[in-house]
Amino acid sequence: MAQNILLHGNSIFLNGLAAWLQPQPGLTVRRQLPGNGPLPPDDFDTVIVDIYETPIAEALARFEAYPHLTLVAVDARLDTVIVLSGQVYRLHALIDVLHCLD
């Protein structure tokens, strides 16, 4: 089963990543430029953003309604990757934080 990846942005890093990912077997890679309108997130398993182009808070706001997505934020300047996946929990009390750790 192919994994469907959305690269959200147009940074040099994401352009290089697209070129590297596209020939990989089992991956379907699509691109979206910021501000070019919505692509249906239901079509994707993973969204990759460059945090210097799309801040994490903006990416979370845009994609949080789709808990099946894995959001990958890359920071090429610091050589780091932040992976945020799946579930969004509403916080009603401090004990709810503890429940998320299970």
- The CB density around residue 8, as the number of other CB atoms within 10 Å, is 24
Query: What is the predicted pLDDT for the residue at 17?
Result: 92
What is the DSSP secondary-structure string of 61-90? HHHTT-TTPEEEEEETTTTEEEEEES----
Instruction: Identify which has the larger pLDDT, 13 or 92.
Output: 13
Q: How many CB atoms lie within 10 A of CB 27?
A: 14
> Which pLDDT belongs to residue 10?
85
Better-predicted residue by pLDDT, 86 or 8 = 8
**pLDDT tens-digit series, residues 33-56:** 877 666 666 788 888 888 888 877
User: All domains of the chain, ordered by start, with CATH?
Assistant: 3-100 (3.40.50)
